[in-house]
Structure 1
Amino acid sequence: MPKIRSTKSKKAPGGYDSIKPTLDEFDDKMKDVQSKALTKTGKKNEALWDIFRISHQRSRYIYEMYYKKKVISKDLYDWVLKNRKINANLIAKWKKQGYEHLCCVKCIQGNESNNGGTCICRVPRATLEKNEKIKFTQCVNCGCRGCASTD
């Protein structure tokens, strides 16, 4: 017989109190943006840009705290991942060379908006400026203005 899991998640490990105010702030911003996205008129993608931006900021905050500054413990990092407070796929890409400044995972996945390849926001600015035929202002997926690691 399978084990029955309780609905309560484990208590947060030590050190969570130091990052909790920032994560709560991101949660509040996310709630505001989600409520605005539901009522926003215009292009469907543009309504989601702020959601992608806040998700990126929250994930980048934890990434910096764990990998760069080494302020939080492995247990706390794993707990935050397990409770889905950050985007694990995005952080996994940031650890790879060439993806250090990736804005969202959607920009490297093949989909209809980027013809099955990577998004134009991944092309270095210098290359875009040389090619006069291409005019790029913002990514249609997330509103990014360019996230190539060489920029």
Structure 2
Amino acid sequence: MPKVKRSRKPPPEGWELIEPTLDELDQKMREAETESHEGKRKVEALWPIFRIHHQKSRYIFDLFYKRKAISRTLYDYCIKEVMRIRT
């Protein structure tokens, strides 16, 4: 079977500044996904996941639009590569 080439671009300049925060939010997301949801309604179990996803997207938005701390290329990279739903 032939190997599949995946074109994963290296992160743009400035990535190392925001990576620790995004990794921390990813860790919180994993904890929220594995958290027991005994005694909660079906939708209540998803609330922490939605909250963390909103925090992550808001963090990236604020860095680009409010604080102007990251470049357009880094913002686009975050939207395409980081914010995609991981399966």
> Which structure exhibits the higher relative contact order, with contacts defined as CA atoms closer than 8 Å and separated by 6 or more residues?
2
- Higher CA-based Rg: 1
Q: Deviations over 1:53-97 (max 9, x none)?
A: 00000000000000000000000001111114269xxxxxxxxxx
TM-score normalised by L of structure 1: 0.50
Distance 2:76 2:66 in 1: 16
Give TM-score, length-normalised by structure 2: 0.85
What runs of 5+ residues in structure 2 fail to find an aligned partner?
Answer: none
Alignment partners' CA distance in 1, 2:61 and 2:84: 9
Map 1:104-143 to 2 at 5 A.
none
Q: Residues 78 and 13 of structure 1: is their aligned pair in 2 closer, same or farther, counting only changes over 3 Å? A: same
Percentage of matched positions with identical amino acids = 44
SS in 2 for 1:46: coil
Q: Distance in 1 between matches of 2:11 and 2:32?
A: 26
For 2:52 and 2:5, locate their aligned partners in 1 and report how far apart those are by CA, in whole Å.
30
- Give the structure with the larger helix fraction: 2
Match of 2:6 in 1: 7
Corresponding residue of 1:55: 53
Unaligned runs of 5+ in 1: 88-151
Q: Which deviates more, 78-87 or 39-48?
A: 78-87
- Find the aligned partners of 2:58 and 2:21 in 1 and give their Cα distance: 12
RMSD: 1.7
